[in-house]
Amino acid sequence: MQIKTEDIAVADHNWKQYTLINDHNFEVSCLNLGGIITRIMAPDRNNKFENVVLGFKDYADYAKNPTFFGALIGRVAGRIDGASFELDGNTYTLPANDGENHLHGGDPGFHNVIWDVTPFEEPNQVGIVLTYTTPDGENGYPGTVDMKVTYTLDNNNAFTITYEGTSDQTTALTATNHSYFNLSGDLKADIRDHEVMIDASQFVELDAHLIPTGNKVDVDDTVFDFRNGRLVKDGTTSDYKQNEVATGGYDHFFLFDNNKRDDVVVKEKESGRKLTVKTDQPGMVMFTSNTMDDKLQLLEGPSRRYLGLCLETQSSPASLHHEGFPSVVLEKGDTYKAKTTFEFGLI
């Protein structure tokens, strides 16, 4: 087990990249900028190591990163209707950075600030601890929030992200990571033939602006039923209204059933790779990069539609405007905690 550190100097920026390496040569590379995961090197069935996440060819492109490649997201991951919310009788107005709505915490957000990083090495795991304090009023959010995020890699090829946050005022907080997975390896194919299992009997309905309507929809007899596994392309080719709202695919919050099985399993038959997701979070946004164009230069070539699969475990920002959704409210004096493990294996 080891950690490699390198300086990344581009334009006016000086960042550090940390590469976590286990005893099987499985690697995860990430930046102190936004905690951005730039590369994950995972073996296929023939033990060939290839990159299984989307990342830019030129590090300078991470300065803007409009697609949030690999980044930590917060204070609140997802869209907040009308870029405002009420809490304890007060109305908080946020920057409208997605039409009339607020997306992924605004700017600055967890995705584009410099985090303090402390590496650690132990006999059976290596990792980094990232810390950042977001001040009271930043982007309109109440409270000074102290965040600690830990990235850990073990010898089971399991990469775990744990989040902790405290606030000196009651506030809204739900963080996630916005990595785009592609198990084909080095982007040999898009993700439409990835098979996905999601332990979820309901998803959250969206309006034309991708804002939750407040309705939970049963997945029965729809292409949102992933309980027994289905291909991503079932949704990209569907004329079901909710797929059309997402521009031909998925960008929806799935509510986990919390059965005693894995929350999410993704398989790619050509490479033999499998990704298993286990989390203590109540749900996940699955985004199938429906709107990605061909203007980004990635490590392995130009971007294109359906090239990556986001699995954003979190609570639901819909809870700020609708009853009955997993809350994103963090009370003063409480500690926000979340944990998600991405375990890479073979079919």
For residue 186, what are the CA distances in angstroms to 182, 242, 286, 324, 327?
8, 31, 21, 41, 37
In sequence order, the 6+-apart residues with CB closer than 8 A to the CB of 172 are 75, 76, 85, 87, 141, 317, 320, 328, 329, 330
- Please, what CATH class does the domain formed by 2-189+285-346 belong to? mainly beta
pLDDT digits (tens, 9 = 90+) for 170-219: 999 999 999 999 999 999 999 999 999 999 999 999 999 999 999 999 99
Q: Which residues are annotated as a binding site for beta-D-galactose?
A: 178-180, 251
Task: Give kind and range of the element (H or E) at residue 235.
Answer: helix 233-236
- What's residue 94's pLDDT? 98
Residue 253's pLDDT is: 98
Q: Are 243 and 217 in contact (CB under 8 A)?
A: no
In whole angstroms, give the CA distance from residue 273 to residue 329: 37
Is 300 among the residues known to form the active site? no
Q: What is the mean pLDDT of the chain?
A: 97
Whether the ω angle into residue 119 lies within 30 degrees of 0, i.e. cis, is no
289 to each of 211, 304, 306, how far by Cα in Å?
A: 17, 9, 5
275-318 pLDDT, tens per residue? 999 999 999 999 999 999 999 999 999 999 999 999 999 999 99
Give residue-wise pLDDT tens across range 226-245: 999 999 999 999 999 999 99
Q: Show binding-site residues.
A: 178-180, 251
Active-site residue (options: 102, 104, 178, 252): 178
Strand runs (DSSP E) across 137-209, as ranges? Answer: 145-154, 158-167, 171-172, 176-177, 180-181, 195-198, 200-206
Q: What is the pTM of this model?
A: 0.97
Q: Is the pLDDT of residue 220 over 90?
A: yes
Our answer to whether residue 312 is catalytic in this structure is: yes
270 close to 226: Cβ distance less than 8 angstroms: no
